[in-house]
Chain A
């Protein structure tokens, strides 16, 4: 489901629901349902061979789209990557290149 559709589905669901007092949100981290990957015009491509696992891209990703597990970088999460290109600019080893997003 694309980001737009998901947010529309959430809105219809909201109509039938009674809000909490003070409109309190009781589900922590629920923005996870909002897939922002649809905003992307450029796609970062990760070259595993050039990567030295320095984690600079992980630190500077504003969308938490680059996961780290046990000190190792994981595959980019394209559900959330907005394609800003910070990872490409900050990678000292040239392990990330930007490509035009395909439909």
Chain B
């Protein structure tokens, strides 16, 4: 199945991402599906820093970076310019941002772009913290995760809040919304194809492990991404025309402990905290199942 992806490589090697990083795999798949007629707007973040150390670039397609918060606003301008030039129909417009540039800093610009209905695909590679500046907590960081701004100490055990449910906020704008996982390239490719064909804004949030920030061996990145799916920590679903569909279901959910104990950022967790997370994951999963079963137009 993996062989079905195009062989051509529009993302050049020699970038300076850490060994075992998930983000370059996301960029590769995006360009494999987008093809040479793709324009990439990049928010500030690891992806921008490691792919373009001046005077070199890893991109073989037009690429633009302006600031941290306005990647979606830049893309709105590109969309309008392409329309004026008359080449909008044959060009794919992709916005790439990390979870910090999407959940927190770029959220206003993203919401504006979605509301104005620009035809663009926002791909957020979600590594659950500000990894580029040294692992600070973001809106996407899970509860109890140890980061440099939410250190695990004696009285406070990491972050005290749950993750922001951004896919649902985006879906409420009427956009095509999907979650994906770097360990399932074919699923991500299918969703990208759908979003390029969709006449309007779309948003794909891709789970992408970070060995440096999550403190796990570099070779386990994909295994941990697979475990996130098997434990229902990161379900794969899409919301199209307001109707939710779960794309893949694990045959039997694995206990969350297996996923947590592989990562250094969770190693301080007590039994009660693991049970709390398990309960939260179960409740979220059940809500998704109910939403899918009802077939209701939720947005």
A-to-B contact residues, CB < 8 Å:
10, 14, 17, 19, 23, 25, 27-36, 39, 54-56, 58-65, 68-71, 77, 79-80, 82-86, 88-90, 98
Contact = CB atoms under 8 A, between A and B. Distances in A.
Measured as residues with beta carbon below 8 angstroms from the partner, the interface class of chain B is 35 or more
A101 B275 CA distance: 42
A69 B56 CA distance: 26
B219 A25 contact: no
A71 B3 contact: yes
A62 to B, nearest CB: 4
A14 B58 CA distance: 18
Interface stretch (B13-21, B104-112, B170-178): B13-21
A60 B58 CA distance: 17
Contact of B61 (A28, A32, A63, A69): A28
A39 B14 contact: no
Given A10-B56, A19-B55, A60-B25, 5 more contacts: A32-B13, A54-B3, A62-B24, A63-B17, A64-B12
A34 B56 CA distance: 9
Contact of A30 (B12, B19, B22): B12
A25 B55 contact: yes
Contact of B54 (A25, A61, A62, A85): A25
Q: In terms of DSSP, what is the predominant structure of the interface of chain B?
A: loop
Interface hub of A14, A65, A68 (most chain B Cβ within 10 A):
A68
Contacts of A83: 19
Contacts of B211: 84
B217 interface: yes
Interface stretch (B95-103, B113-121, B220-228): B220-228
B147 interface: no
A30 to B, nearest CB: 4
Contact of B14 (A56, A68, A80): A80
Which of A58, A62, A88: most chain B Cβ within 10 A?
A62
A59 B219 contact: no
A55 B55 contact: no
Nearest to B182: A60
Given A33-B56, A85-B219, A59 B5 contact: yes
A17 to B, nearest CB: 8
Interface string B23-40: 111001000000000000
Contacts of B13: 31-32, 36, 63-65, 77, 79-80
Which of A23, A29, A54 has the most chain B CB atoms closer than 10 A to its own CB?
A: A29
A25 B222 contact: no
B91 interface: no
